[in-house]
Structure 1
Amino acid sequence: MSPYCPYFNCRQIIVLLSLIFCCQLSYSSTDQQTIIHSHAIAMHGEAKYPSGFSRFDYSSSLAVKGGELRLGQQGGYDSLNPFIAKGNSAAYLGLIYDTLTVSSKDEAFTQYGLLAESMEYPEDRSWIIFNLHPHATFHDGVAVTADDVVFTFNTLMEKGNPFYQSLYGDVESVVALSNKRVRFNFKNKLNQELALIVGQLAILPKHYWQDKDFASSSLEPPLGSGPYKLDSIDPGRSISYQRVSDYWGKDLAVNAGHYNFDRIIIDYYKDGNVLLEGLKAKQYDFRVEYSSKQWATGYTGEALTKRELIQEEIPHQLPKGMQAFLMNLRKPLFQDMRVRQALGLAFNFEWSNKNLFYNAYTRSQSYFSNSELAATGLPSAAELAILTPYKDQLPSSVFNQPYKAPVSDGDKYNRKNLIRAMHLLKEAGWRVVDNQLVDSNNQPFSFEITLVQPSFERIVNPYIKALKKLGITAHIRHSEVSQYINRLRNFDYDMIVGGFGQSLSPGNEQKEYWHSSTADTPASRNLIGIKNPVIDDLVDLVINAPDRASLVTRTRALDRVLLHNHYVIPQYYIASHRIAYWNKFQRPAISAKYDYGYQNSILTWWLKPEYLKGQR
């Protein structure tokens, strides 16, 4: 499952449902196989919500429409096309678009229909048919058809962000069977997830795009079919969306309690500190906080004392993936695993957590932290069955040592780890000359750490000082947002602070992260540049897992191999959402336990009656 939507800051669009003979599933058969007819499709097991359900549990029947929601965003934007690898697209553009299906946020991975009223697929999931809702229309009143679906898929594969080619590479063809019926044919029967993730396509209007240059970054307002449409833009400063009063899907059960604000306005701020001050000054209404320092020290003032401005931590059950210092393996400097391991030993997490993070974080020990997917201890018998055939191609530690990120004594010196790091560097052929680490050609060990967030300097600077003790020269390279995005797309960096978000049902997106085929593709998410045939095979095994048990085992095996190759320097995570908001909202009694980033939950909130009357 892709852990986030394929366009910047998009919503996870909500579900359409239809009655199918008053049953959750119905079946028909051909001479060859049984065909399932359903309103939903689950990766493993059955869907939680049966046909005819009234709403998701994390929405509320008490929600009322009206008023404004104002949000803050750091950076800027120069594009309204979120589907291509050009420009920096505006936040929340996903509000404009509907997808064929959408995930519920209280299941590991189940897709319910939105534009698709129902689905048909064989038990082996070698193809899937989407039956489009008869009333689905774009904002200009033109009906959504199967031709739009075919056009969308082909356009994204040919002109969209390169990751679409990786994500949907096993789709053989997309065929319009009729005006409201479209079929996706798959190349094999192994990729069980594919029937679900093709439903995540945001459908584009063919009649709007067919005479335009889709591959060009543009500020021309796009046409969609979703609950909101573009209201106004002020590039680099703000963007606003207006709720569509005659939205075709407003009365669907899956949209119940969602999209309650008449207008959503996003204001942009260049500086993160100013962004926080904007919230405290009532310039916007709601914020997800990512900085432990700001969370601990930045929320002060009478408004907080009086509970007019609320600080709240909401525990979640989400995999936290891996946030880390990422080394670019395309650079010769980082190709020796001993060097990568030495660089990891120089990062003093325990000191940083105490002195910089107010002990708010847990050290990341997995690419699937905070979940059952994480590798722990030594390999199980089931993992060994997968890994043993590759024993000669893997670090021996995969089999005889549990992975554990380096631990310091918590003081600022980190002597034991730095001594170990120096031994590894010497083994790799490096030596110290005049306090500078050099290779056999007397070339110094020097690299840049590219940052887009100035707030990360306080984390990176102590690391740079530690590296200096090893004779390594590291510099911070600052980039503004658009420049940083271009650097990532072209892999123009030595080291960055980055991460890999994960879902409870990893699948095709793992190919984008780790597979050799994506390492040299500009704009791919293989930011590290991994080219490892064993990892390629493990990724394929994860994608083709036939059931939940094998998915967990295969993911743990992949996790273990990634960890023991020391491709990254793990940082930290927190198993809760930290949010701050002005006390003007009401919200559902039940929170969605799998809402990634909590950015989507605000779309189920609504204003208190006094604010609907125009008061702020």
Structure 2
Amino acid sequence: MRPGPFLPIRALTGAITLFFLAQTAPAQPQHGIAMYGAPALPPDYKALPYVNPDAPKGGRVVFGNTGGFDSLNPFVQKGTAPWQLRFWGYESLMGRSWDEPFTLYGLLAASVETPPDRSWVEFTLRPEARFSDGSPVTVEDVIWSYETLGTKGHLRYRGFWSRVAKIEQTGPRRVRLTFNTPDRELALIAGMRPILKKAQWEGKDFTASGLSEAPIGSGPYVVTGFEAGRYVTLKRNPDYWGRDLAFRRGTENFDEMRIEFYGDATVLFEAFKSGALSAVREFNAEKWQRQYDFPAVTRGDVVKSEISNQRPSGMTGLVMNSRRAPFDDWRVRQALILAFNFDYINDTMTGGVQPRITSYFSNSPLAMRPGPATGRVRDLLLPYAADLPPGALDGYALPEGDGTARNRTNLRAAMALLTQAGWHVVDGELRNAEGEPMRLSVLLRQADGEMQRVVDLYTQALRRLGIAVVADTVDDAQYTTRTAALDFDLTSFRRDLSLSPGNEQRLYWGSADANQEGSRNLMGVASPAVDAMIDTMLTSDTSEDFTAATRALDRVLTAGAYVIPIWAYDVSRIAHVRQMKYPADRLPIYGDGVEYMPDAWWWQEN
């Protein structure tokens, strides 16, 4: 275990200093690339620092998803694929270490080369790299993958492609991407695009594969069976090309992994209790304390593990669609935040154990500081003062309740804001100047029982303001379609954020995609200040500028009152069968992410 939370921060500061000292170094092939400084691991490293390099291979594990699926292609906009597929069966040129803020090491690529200004990046493929069918991974496959995903793939891939001026083969196993915009992170993002087999799709429509055909990848697992909407089975490829790589040592240890699908989280939990599933992640601290005392836990057949992390809190809660009235008025959004009695709801839902999210980057050095903006943060924001939400410059903090279940103090403040915005209570209903009542719809997944209970409690408070609320609960397919079409008033929201935020920020809150179908900018924020802060983050010449720009972005988003925040998931809680092991003595700074389990876990009978 690490001695404390500040060691990685000191390491990050040192890395940033090294980065700026190295700006004049000539381009040359390297085994890895870091956003700041040099990679922590040397070229001859033996394994990632947070894995057990001697972990045994074997075992069969079963995980559970809620909802269903109608596609085996996780790289296109159409359809819903099991989210795990793109992590288990596919690889990129570089792989990420989760013990560094943002560092990549060679995977399909043996080396990476880029000039000091990172205006281009060049990769050299490993000669032994193979797809799961045994065919070699070629430069032609790489170029086809970038072009196809960038033009026909899921929206998350297209933003990067728009910043590529040219992609070309520069040698038998070398490929270079030249960028059309100053952005130091693009060289790293280029290393993280999935590589697919070009020949598979000749004469076929890549975007319409659905369940008929899964893309061929180079990853350690392949789909060996499925039943639409019920299960998917993947087995470790015995001929996996990369099993001897240092990057892969001690990872990808299970022989077989199966994903079972359930209608909701309650049914999934009962399946776990009965022994049908091998592990579950629990996001509710009170449930963790009260409901994980079933016989298998008592016998020791199921183990409860808690995994800490040092990453930003991110944002979880109910997002408001600011594209439509009444959410286009910040006063209405702030009033809805005031009406949310966090202390009471948190105590009811989690026993008051989980801390509140206070901003998008809370729990990290990148979070906005209390009080008025000062120094470089203020300098960055001042040119946009006329368009900033109230509090962005002078200071903003989430409202605190008065300690009562009825939350009268904040409800009065909420009503005052609503009155300023032109809303008045008439015959028990909150109405605007045209006499139209405020009626809100909250779009929820059927499987999200926790958020449904949160909304039930929240609805009681809104009724006291004369606001009618309807919970619109739909299945996964409808939810995906509705959110992609931006068809909602409020909906559940989660954005994970890293210690090295970059181009993904454009997807989350950039104005370019704010009104585009399939946008990840669900709140619809279209702010010149937000765009400028993201630009500054991506082009900063000093570590101080980067941190200031991130803190400024945090201020604008938080003060904009686009999301009603709930609690932070500061600790990952995983219940698992006793045979599933992980290296608890060497946790990465990112803790339990989407790839940590199963990547770093193994099966051991005794």
Specify the code of the residue in structure 2 equivalent to 1:423.
A
Q: How does 1:122-133 map to 2 (within 5 A)?
A: 122-133=115-126
Structure 1 residues 174-203: Cα deviation after superposition (integer angstroms, max 9, x where no partner): 112233110010113x30000001100110
Question: Is residue 205 from structure 1 mapped to residue 197 from structure 2 by the alignment?
Answer: yes
The residue number in structure 1 matching 2:536 is 541
Partner of 1:608: 604
1: distance between equivalents of 2:286 and 2:76? 35
Tell whether the 8 Å contact from 2:287 to 2:350 is kept in structure 1 after alignment.
no
Matched, 1:468 2:463: yes
CA distance in structure 1 between the partners assigned to 2:310 and 2:57 by the alignment: 30
Task: Decide which of 298, 305, 309 is 1:312's aligned counterpart.
Answer: 305
Aligned equivalent of 1:160, options 153, 162, 168: 153
After TM superposition, the score normalised by the length of structure 2 is 0.93
Superposed counterparts of 1:57-68, under 5 Å:
57-68=49-60
CA contact (8 A) 2:146 2:161 kept: no
**1:302 Cα deviation (Å)?**
2.3
Counterpart in the other structure of 2:41: 49
Question: 1:40, 1:110 within 8 Å by CA — same for their partners in 2?
Answer: yes
Query: In 2, distance between residues paired with 1:396 and 1:215?
Result: 44
Secondary structure, aligned partner of 1:539: helix
Q: Which amino acid aligns with 2:538?
A: I
Match of 2:425 among 422, 426, 432: 432
SS at match of 1:215: helix
Paired with 2:200 and 2:554, the residues of 1 have a C-alpha distance of 43
> Which amino acid letter does the alignment assign opposite residue 376 of structure 1?
R
Paired amino acid for 2:262:
Y
Aligned to 2:443: 450
The residue type equivalent to 2:537 in the other structure is V
- Report percent identity of matched pairs: 38
Query: Which residue, out of 521, 524, 545, partners 1:526?
Result: 521
Question: 1:111 offset after TM fit, Å?
Answer: 0.8
Contact 1:163/1:523, CA 8 A, preserved across alignment: no
Compute the displacement of 1:217 (Å).
4.5
- What letter is aligned with 2:50? Y
Match of 1:392 in 2: 386
Name the count of aligned residue pairs.
579
Aligned to 1:358: 351
Q: Report the secondary structure of 1:526's partner residue.
A: coil
Deviation at 1:607, TM superposition (A): 1.6
2:242 aligns to what? 249
Structure 1 residue 156 displacement after superposition: 0.8
CA contact (8 A) 1:584 1:607 kept: yes
Q: CA deviation at 1:61?
A: 2.8
Shift of 1:527: 0.4
Residue pair 1:296, 1:358 contacting (<8 A) in 2 also: no
CA RMSD in angstroms comes to: 1.7
Matching of residue 339 in structure 1 with residue 332 in structure 2: yes
Matched-pair contact (CA < 8 Å) for 2:444–2:472: yes
Greater Cα shift, 376-385 or 475-484? 376-385
Residue 414 of structure 2 corresponds to 421
- C-alpha deviation, 1:41, in angstroms: 0.5
Q: What is the one-letter code of the residue matched to 2:242?
A: G
SS, match of residue 334 in structure 1: coil
In structure 2, the partner of 1:597 is 593
Structure 2 equivalent of residue 382 of structure 1: 376
> 474-483 or 392-401: which moved more?
392-401
Name the structure 2 match of 1:187. Answer: 180
Structure 2 SS opposite 1:597: coil
Offset of residue 168 of structure 1:
3.7
- Determine the C-alpha separation between the residues in 1 that align with 2:409 and 2:109: 59
Provide the residue aligned with 2:5 in structure 1: none
Q: State the secondary structure of the residue aligned to 1:44.
A: coil
Structure 1 residue aligned with 2:546: 551
Task: Determine if contact 1:449/1:496 at 8 Å carries over to the other structure.
Answer: yes
Partner of 2:130: 137
Relative distance call for 1:609 and 1:582 in structure 2 (3 A) is closer
Q: CA deviation at 1:292?
A: 3.3
Residues 308, 591 of structure 2: 8 Å contact kept:
no
Quote the Cα distance in structure 1 between the aligned partners of 2:355 and 2:224. Answer: 42
Q: Equivalent residue for 2:13?
A: none
1:509 Cα offset (Å): 0.6
TM-score normalised according to structure 1 size: 0.91
Name the counterpart of 2:477.
482
Distance 1:388 1:262 in 2: 57
Matched-pair contact (CA < 8 Å) for 1:167–1:512: no
- 2:460 and 2:382 map into 1 onto residues whose CA distance is 40
CA distance in 1, matches of 2:500, 2:568: 19
1:266-294 Cα deviation digits (max 9, x unpaired): 11111211111111111111111123343
Shift of residue 567, structure 1, vs aligned partner: 1.5
Structure 2: which 5+ residue stretches go unaligned?
1-18
2:222 equivalent to 1:222: no
Change (3 A) 1:526 1:466: same
How big is each residue's C-alpha offset from its partner over 1:45-103, in whole Å with a ceiling of 9 and x where there is no partner? 11110101100111113311112121111111110111111111024212111111011
- 1:609 is displaced (CA, Å) by 4.0
Q: Deviations over 1:123-164 (max 9, x none)?
A: 110000000001101122211111111101110111111232
Structure 1: any 5+ residue segments left out of the alignment?
Answer: 1-24, 611-616
Closer/same/farther in 2, CA of residues 136 and 386 from structure 1, 3 Å limit: same
What's the CA shift for 1:215?
A: 1.3
